[in-house]
Amino acid sequence: MICVWCTVFAKEMQKKLEAIGFEVKVNKKRSIVEGILGDNNIVFISTKL
């Protein structure tokens, strides 16, 4: 599993990951414990098919 944090071009990243064979789940997350700060944090959870 790959987790990618990205705040810019989220839809383009999702499309690129899907095009190379990943199943992608996109979530907005904020967790001080996990070091994810700010208001516009997008987390990609990708699994290679």
pTM of the model: 0.59
Per-residue pLDDT 10s for the chain (49 aa) are: 455 555 557 788 888 889 999 999 888 777 778 777 777 677 788 999 8
26, 4 in Cβ contact below 8 A?
no
Length of the chain: 49
The burial of 22, by beta-carbon neighbours within 10 Å (0-12 exposed, 13-18 middle, 19 or more buried), is given as middle
Q: Which of 23, 18, 38, 15 lies closest to 5, judged by CA?
A: 38
Domain map of the chain by residue range?
2-48
The string of DSSP codes covering 15-28 is HHHHHTTEEEEEEE
Helix (H) or strand (E) holding 30: none
